[in-house]
Amino acid sequence: MMGFQVLETSKLLNYARARSLWIVTFCTGCGGVELPPTATARFDFERFGIISTPSIRQADLLLITGYVTPKTLKRIIIVYEMMRNPKYIIAHGSCPVNAGIYWDSYNTVKKLDLYIPVDVWIAGCMPRPEAILRALVKLMKMVKEGKALGWKRYLENFEFYRKNQDRLFGKDWRKREIEKLRFYIHD
């Protein structure tokens, strides 16, 4: 726990972190279609030092771009736990908030906040690139001030999150997921 204290109060580190947020390229759901316009020539988030990287270990920002199905949520949790601290999440669109237009679907996750800690929410269906930029800038500000502490919440309330995840997927879901893939391959 000592390590976190040092990291949290160091202003220089926070400044450096805010200025080079790297994104995991994991587009979940429809919002993924607004990411290329935000990343490329017209809106261009690279001027904020944000780059999308194919490697999970090098990234510190996970964008959840839309509805989350249980099958995707498993991957999201695995990806989130594989990222290194400190790490941030932006949830994008009204679907992660309350499942949006799919509120009565049997296969969407209704409250994302129960399973992973979200730092910034963007409302709208689908949010415009300007809104995504605004959220990114807001996250940069929060990181600079040391207020984006989702990753710490996840560590402190790990039992809570794990309990919710187990309730949705059943105990030992990681092991079963791997076995399912095996089955998939050999059938």
Partner 1 sequence: MSIQEMRRISGEGGRETFELIIGPVHMETENFSIIVTVEGDTVVEAKVNAGFLHRAFEKLAENRTYIQNVPLLLRVCVPDPDHAETAYSMAVEQLLDIEIPDRAKYIRTIVLEMARISAHLFWTFGMSAAVGLYTVGQWSVADRERFIELFEELTGARIYHIYNFPGGVRYDLPMGWTDKLMKVVNYMEKRLKEYDKVFFENDILITRSRGLAKISTEEAISLGVTGPNLRATGVPYDFRKLDPYAAYPYIDFEIPTGKYGDAYDRIMVRRREIEISLNIIKQAIKELPSGPIMAPIPHPLYYNVPPGDAYARVESSKGEFGFYVVSDGSDRPWRVHIRGPSFIHGVQLLEKLLKNVRIADIPVVLKSLDNCPPDIDR
Selected range binding ligand SF4 among 71-79, 91-99, 113-121, 177-185, rule: CB under 6 A: 91-99
Per CB under 6 A, 29 contacts ligand SF4 = yes
Q: Is 34 in the site for partner 1 (CB under 8 A)?
A: yes
Q: Taking the complex as a whole, how short is the minimal distance between the CB of residue 41 and ligand SF4, in angstroms?
A: 23
Q: Work out which of 89, 108, 136, 142 binds partner 1, going by CB under 8 A.
A: 108
In this structure, the number of other CB atoms found within 10 A of the CB of residue 169 comes to 18
Q: Using omega within 30 degrees of 0 as the cis cutoff, is the peptide bond preceding 96 cis? A: no
104 binds, among ligand SF4, partner 1, none (CB under 5 to 8 A by kind): partner 1
Q: Using CA atoms in the order 13, 15, 20, 23, what is the torsion angle rounded to 10 degrees? A: 80
How many residues bind ligand SF4 (CB under 6 A)? The answer is: 12
Paired with 88 in beta bridges are 61
Is residue 24 involved in binding ligand SF4 (CB under 6 A)?
no
Residue 46 CB-density burial (10 A; 0-12 exposed, 13-18 middle, 19+ buried): exposed
Chain residues that interact with ligand SF4, rule: CB under 6 A: 29-31, 66-67, 93-95, 100-101, 125-126
Chain residues that interact with partner 1, rule: CB under 8 A: 24-30, 32-34, 36-37, 40-42, 54-56, 67, 69, 71-72, 75, 79, 101-102, 104-108, 125-126, 128, 181, 184-185
